[in-house]
Chain A
């Protein structure tokens, strides 16, 4: 079963190559179906191998593919364990649904086949990342997802804002990658290998706590870049310039969770460095709070979802930071479903509203788009944390684990609850402003339900959004059991008793209901409430983080490059180049004077020189 797993990477890659080379000839919509087919087959290949873990017959294996860098013993190999199996299911499963959705969504786009080539490239990259058996291969996937993310954000590159957003995402991710690269160097110096198995097995004896702290903090810099955590969160909202299926797949369900996945994968190292874990947890909580505070004021439906994603990623990072790896990954899973659904639903709305993204110009869409309305309703309840939807279970597990850690973490738990309240508030705001109340759109827009290729993924995701939480309830910890072997040797948090878990869950549920009850009457009115207070204005501008970066980093950087372009380059660099050229040509023109063109002159020089040589030979003798 696991022999074929390399195809999970190879097939989407093949799809990307085919669509890149022959996409124009294949044309619309077959190139889309082709891309969808490759991802779906990848998914189908991985299903039996994943199910074997569920039934208990499967076991962790490392599948050697080929020797990649023999000089330092790096192999291209697949690590197949429950964690990578789960990620494979999410990426290929949700990925194929979103490919299906894109077939309808991207209809009529000039570069339709190119879009699917990039999407397939992304799936292949993501699979390299999650299936990697060592840090080096993981890094390749890590960079490749960054590349495909860049290509897809700036897919409509004729729009300046899209081109700028792509660049921003790429550059901010590079800052994170710097941390990852340095961490990899320290890992290689300390262990002499990148191999996960060896590194984790020897970590407790091979490195000190200090080294582990350095490695994990640097890894977290990488994770913060990819998973949009403070202070590197600024690229994700701008990434919404990409087509909506891209936002759903890459910037909500899969790629942005790579950081969380990487921390979970390195759980052994993070367990050795409790200080790093605490920092991770604090950053995660701060990110969750800040992003939620920004999300409540956004009027662009995709921006709300983008900040909501950052906020939920903050939860996951909090989860893995406090050592609740299963809870973090569980939230990653449920979030992948409901956030993908929210984005696809938003895409369906945007599609219906003729590319209108401003929620203030929506309203009353429930009659026009019943399927989108119902499925997004499920996602709304799930992310708000309403029992028994999926978000309720996963979010509560993280909060409960944080609470159980005790001490200063109780404070983080409190902030987490506040974020839950804000989440319920802004999601209700989004839902009500879009689907309920009176229509606020202008007369010439004719909202309509989307075609079947778009609604089928919504319904499938809706089903999982409702049900997937049930795989890990305090009554039946199937998910935790499933992932157990991936986190072997990692200390487990003392599980709360059922009673205290219930109390915590009830508190969280009450908070969520309060959030909904607070927002519902406020926005379900004919007149939208005025949101012009000082706080609202600041929140709408994302508290000026972009502006601060602009003033402190971008502006000096621009000054430096302007100086380099206007002074350094023309004077020093060009001066040196021109100077060398002038010197050589001057020397050449001096030598050129010797070329008189007079043959007899040359012959004379030759004869005189020959005569001198003969004289020298005669005088000095043949011995020289």
Chain B
């Protein structure tokens, strides 16, 4: 049983599904945030695995992009969460429904 690309893809899919479940189920904004990171990393893993398998460089380029975007997103996202927490002493997203139409 050699280490084929399928294992990496399966791992990526598993990580992504865990991330989706986390976002949908958890109420704490911080945990949801971590789940999103998980999804992003799952995608990165998939990109790199496929890139290695097909011998194409584009997948690794995409992986670097995802990292950059994730870094930027973390900065802003965390700032927002901290700001929300400061005003409400809670990070429960179900209570944040001010934008209801």
**Which residues of A are at the interface with B, using a C-beta cutoff of 8 A?**
589, 591-600, 603-604, 607
Contact = CB atoms under 8 A, between A and B. Distances in A.
B100 A600 contact: no
Task: List the 8 closest pairs (A to B, CB-CB), nearest first.
Answer: A592-B101, A597-B97, A595-B101, A597-B100, A599-B93, A597-B99, A603-B23, A607-B20
Nearest to B99: A597
A3 B89 CA distance: 86
A598 B95 CA distance: 8
A591 B101 contact: yes
B21 to A, nearest CB: 9
A594 B20 CA distance: 22
Contacts of B23: 600, 603, 607
Interface string B83-101: 0000000000110111111
Given A600-B23, A603-B24, A607-B20, A594 B97 contact: no
B52 interface: no
Interface of B: 20, 23-24, 27, 32, 93-94, 96-101
A187 to B, nearest CB: 63
A contact patch SS: helix
A594 B27 CA distance: 20
B35 to A, nearest CB: 10
Nearest to A611: B20
Given A598-B94, A600-B93, A600-B94, A607 B99 contact: no
Given A600-B93, A600-B94, A595 B100 contact: yes
B38 to A, nearest CB: 14
Contacts of A599: 32, 93, 96
A599 B97 CA distance: 8
Contacts, number: 35
A596 B96 CA distance: 10
A593 B101 contact: yes
Contacts of B96: 597, 599
B101 A594 contact: yes
Contact of A607 (B24, B27, B93, B94): B24
24 contacts: A589-B101, A591-B101, A593-B101, A594-B101, A595-B99, A595-B100, A595-B101, A596-B100, A597-B99, A597-B100, A597-B101, A598-B94, A598-B97, A599-B32, A599-B93, A600-B24, A600-B27, A600-B32, A600-B93, A600-B94, A603-B23, A603-B24, A604-B24, A607-B23
A622 to B, nearest CB: 15
Given A596-B100, A600-B93, 13 more contacts: A591-B101, A593-B101, A596-B97, A597-B97, A597-B99, A598-B93, A598-B97, A599-B93, A600-B23, A600-B27, A600-B32, A604-B24, A607-B24
A600 B24 CA distance: 6
A269 B96 CA distance: 83
A596 B20 CA distance: 20
Nearest to A594: B101
A598 B100 CA distance: 8
Contacts of A603: 23-24
A594 to B, nearest CB: 7
Contacts of A594: 101
A617 to B, nearest CB: 14
Nearest to A589: B101
A235 to B, nearest CB: 61
Nearest to B29: A599
A294 B58 CA distance: 98
A178 B24 CA distance: 74
A591 B98 CA distance: 17
A594 B101 CA distance: 7
A4 to B, nearest CB: 71
Contacts of B100: 595-597
A168 to B, nearest CB: 57
